[in-house]
Chains A and B, each alone.
Chain A
């Protein structure tokens, strides 16, 4: 079992509030990724769950047991640190078995468990090496192995891949996903890398200033962001945000630069329109919803990002086919897919259209 609940949890350092009234229910076996910009409190939240950081308000409950005041070890969670935090004076085997040894398991039992975990993580040939003799990826695997042997009810990952190079990161990401499928244990994963969040998560929790901005499946967050912050935070390249207003004919007025048909609920007052680069396309100037001048192009292999400058709407990023013919300085039209765009009111909250 590994059901983790946070009830009105809070963390305060002196007068500074890092986490406020946070409610979060994590089901057994779920893979939850917590994302957010630097300083949003995501690592603090993870450390509160781990018990490394005192919770100053609310409750943390694991499998029905209130562990708010419990020691880290009593929570039966394992943590993988960003810096790996391997014990440098111990071999891989000793590193992985340290927790079991402290729990006073027999050396035979420790050996069996360590060997099994090493086998899962392909660490068997490295068991007698010291951390300094391992590569970054191997060290990370040992850190994960140290977590696995304890058979915890949940794993906590604190930006575990951020010290690895890009290629290795992809491999380790796949390995962690596979591990989750094999073990079926609850995993809470903190990252600022939204690719990791999108690919690994059953559910993503977006945090800002210690508050949950939105939680949902990667699909929900990408397609139906609840607010402007999530809209801009999730997705790379970022969503374009264009100023707009509703006019009497039920159309959206793009700051006088064009019009867009958009059936809206009568009380909805959108002021900003969010459109992802791939939901925009370049057309002849007279055919678009708005127009502008191509200011820059970034060839990305599969596609080309074309940056179009509109005097009122600003710089708009359009994802065009890689071989797009529109060149710098050219005037182009932008077609907006009105089915997949998002609308936001003055407070930044999503406005639901009548579709």
Chain B
């Protein structure tokens, strides 16, 4: 009985929290005609017309380009952040370098509204010819991702026993070798976690995408908004929903696939226990 109640509460909570997603998903399968007559959570005559419209490439709209742009900028923004954060985290955790001022300062950057950076960045990018380029947007996203990656990695490295480094030193490893061949593999769960969070943040980023891109490097978040009123007149809810579903799929799939990597401790057996 209690178990059944528990499931009931769980189901209600899951439904309530995922309601917007459900509505979007259902709407994406409704025809324009049905949308005006049936506002409910079911589909009378499911159709793929909205998806076909989304995948139709035209002069103005190209979903494949937006997806490709998003994947590229998210990849740059994520890997670059982790590549920069890992040695920094090692220096902070082990060398206590910048632990007092630099780390809190960088972490606090995350608390500042991103719009503050908008104007100087726009001017800087104009000067560097990085406006409307995937590299430019990727670079910015790596800065957005850096603080969280740094915090995750600093904590992960701090949790590792220092004797691990010392054993490697005795074995003749240089600091770089210790970082790459001992610390990095042992910190794999933390690195994967930073990559996943970074990818999701980068994928969902809207502000810089809107500001710094116009056509060639438009990411899916910004590109999706182009579909809303694609044919003029009012908002095409069906098409808009379909493009949102397409845009949301990659991070969801990534999360599901990579989840296993996050769990499971790699350090088991390193030291006594």
Q: Known contacts A73-B172, A88-B186, A89-B186: does B163 contact A83 (CB below 8 Å)?
A: yes
Are B269's CB and A72's CB within 8 A?
no
- A54-85 to B contact mask, C-beta < 8 Å, 1/0: 00000000000000000111000111011111
Is A222 interfacial (CB 8 A cutoff)? Answer: no
Is B260 interfacial (CB 8 A cutoff)? Answer: no
Chain A: which residue is nearest B184 at the CB level? A89
Chain B: which residue is nearest A98 at the CB level? B171
B residues 133-184 near A (Cβ < 8 Å) are: 161, 163-164, 166-173, 177, 181-182
- The tally of CB-CB contacts under 8 A between chains A and B is 85
Q: Measured between C-beta atoms, what is the minimum distance from A53 to chain B in Å?
A: 10
Q: How large is the interface on B (under 10, 10 to 19, 20 to 34, 35 or more residues)?
A: 20 to 34
Are B266's CB and A50's CB within 8 A?
no
Are B167's CB and A88's CB within 8 A?
no
Which residue from B166, B173, B269 sits with its C-beta under 8 Å from A134?
A: B269
Are A85's CB and B167's CB within 8 A?
yes
Q: Known contacts A132-B269, A163-B272: does B172 contact A85 (CB below 8 Å)?
A: no
Is A286 interfacial (CB 8 A cutoff)? Answer: no
Q: Measured between C-beta atoms, what is the minimum distance from A89 to chain B in Å?
A: 4
CA distance in complex: A67, B63 (Å): 65
Is A131 interfacial (CB 8 A cutoff)? Answer: yes
Is A52 interfacial (CB 8 A cutoff)? Answer: yes
Which residue from A77, A83, A130, A146 sits with its C-beta under 8 Å from B271?
A: A83
Is A343 interfacial (CB 8 A cutoff)? Answer: no
Which residue from A73, A86, A102, A133 sits with its C-beta under 8 Å from B270?
A: A86
Q: Is the interface of B mostly helix, strand, loop or mixed?
A: helix
Q: Measured between C-beta atoms, what is the minimum distance from A244 to chain B in Å?
A: 46
Is B5 interfacial (CB 8 A cutoff)? Answer: no
Q: Known contacts A85-B163, A87-B186, A89-B185: does B270 contact A99 (CB below 8 Å)?
A: no
Is A103 interfacial (CB 8 A cutoff)? Answer: yes
Is B12 interfacial (CB 8 A cutoff)? Answer: no
Are B163's CB and A81's CB within 8 A?
yes
Residues of A within 8 A of B172 (CB): 72-73, 99, 102-103
- A126-150 to B contact mask, C-beta < 8 Å, 1/0: 0000111110100100000010001
Are A85's CB and B271's CB within 8 A?
yes
CA distance in complex: A98, B182 (Å): 10
Are A84's CB and B173's CB within 8 A?
no
Residues of A within 8 A of B161 (CB): 83, 85
Q: Measured between C-beta atoms, what is the minimum distance from B209 to chain A in Å?
A: 38
Residues of A within 8 A of B164 (CB): 85, 87
Is B267 interfacial (CB 8 A cutoff)? Answer: yes
Which residue from B170, B182, B186, B272 sits with its C-beta under 8 Å from A84?
A: B272
Residues of A within 8 A of B270 (CB): 83-88, 131
Chain B: which residue is nearest A74 at the CB level? B172
Q: Known contacts A86-B270, A102-B177, A132-B268: does B167 contact A81 (CB below 8 Å)?
A: yes
Q: Measured between C-beta atoms, what is the minimum distance from B224 to chain A in Å?
A: 41
List chain B positions with a Cβ less than 8 A from chain A. Answer: 161, 163-164, 166-173, 177, 181-182, 185-186, 188, 266-272
Q: A72-B172, A136-B272 are in contact. List 20 more A-B contacts (CB 8 A).
A: A50-B170, A71-B169, A73-B170, A78-B170, A79-B170, A81-B163, A81-B167, A84-B270, A85-B161, A87-B167, A87-B182, A87-B270, A88-B186, A88-B266, A89-B185, A89-B188, A98-B173, A132-B269, A146-B171, A163-B272
List chain A positions with a Cβ less than 8 A from chain B. Answer: 50-52, 71-73, 77-79, 81-89, 98-99, 102-103, 130-134, 136, 139, 146, 150, 163
| CB pairs A–B below 8 angstroms (27 shown) | A50-B170, A52-B166, A72-B170, A72-B172, A73-B170, A79-B170, A82-B272, A83-B163, A83-B270, A83-B272, A84-B272, A85-B163, A85-B166, A85-B271, A87-B182, A87-B186, A87-B270, A88-B186, A88-B269, A88-B270, A89-B188, A98-B171, A102-B171, A130-B269, A132-B268, A133-B269, A146-B171
